[in-house]
Amino acid sequence: MTDPHSAIPEHVKPELWRRYEDWRVRRYERAVAKNAHRWPSLRNQRTFRRLVGLAGTWVVIMLLGATLAVFGSTWFFVPWVAGLAGVAATLHLVRTVTGSVIDAPVGALDEIQLAQRNSARSLGYWAIFSLIFFPYLMLIWMGSTMDYVRGDTVYGVGVLLVSLVVAAAALPPLLVAWWTNDPDPEDRPDVIVVDEPPSPPAAAPSVAESPPASPQTAPLHSESSTPASTVRTSDLDPPRPAPW
């Protein structure tokens, strides 16, 4: 589908740009088909959200190491590298099991996926725009209140800046993974959907053939069996004269 929020209107796109978009769609579909059979047991909403929680834990560990670097601790390297490696590995797993919707071109997404991708990118941009101000504000405060700033402190602030950028960059794919529902069984390559044969139509109830009913003949009554009407003899007498 076309992106309604694209900066380039559809009717003015050059042919070279259209070919580039088609090439991106084909490359994305090949990548999804290549990873479609990997980790089928992880492709459900519960696992998606668990992976998001795991990535959040690694982000906290990485930020903890960056905070230690700001205060000049020489052991910051251990939690910081462990957290950075954990974030990278978890994000790779999240992108694989969710189909890497956050990096997909517009032509390979439906309306719901496109809306989720655009919303996640917008929130990620807001996060990275806001978080990078903290290291700069720290440097401004140090430069205005301290006559001498140690090089280890500036180094630690740089590590903190890198950590915040990584955390903000990890936000869009984690949001898409959190919003993703369970995939349709028809779209999963490890599930074979067998169409059940249609049930035969219900047979009409059979009616036992009964012999044709013989026509009922009206009973013949003889004249003798017909009851004769009773006639009173008083009805045959002439009327009586009225009394005067």
- How far apart, in Å, do the first and last CA atoms of the chain sit? 120
Give domain limits for the chain.
10-187
pLDDT at 230: 53
pLDDT at 50: 94
Distance of CA 15 to the CA centre of its chain: 34
pLDDT at 52: 94
Give the integer Cα–Cα distance in Å for 182 and 116: 15
Joined together, the tokens standing for residue 70 give 């700001």
Identify the DSSP state of 37.
Answer: T
Q: For every one of its 244 residues, what pLDDT tens digit does the chain have, with 9 covering 90 and above?
A: 566 656 677 777 788 888 888 898 899 888 888 888 888 888 888 999 999 999 999 999 999 999 999 888 788 889 999 999 999 999 999 999 988 888 888 888 888 888 889 899 999 999 998 998 989 898 888 888 887 878 888 889 999 999 999 999 999 999 999 998 887 666 554 444 445 555 666 555 555 555 555 555 445 444 444 444 455 555 555 666 555 5
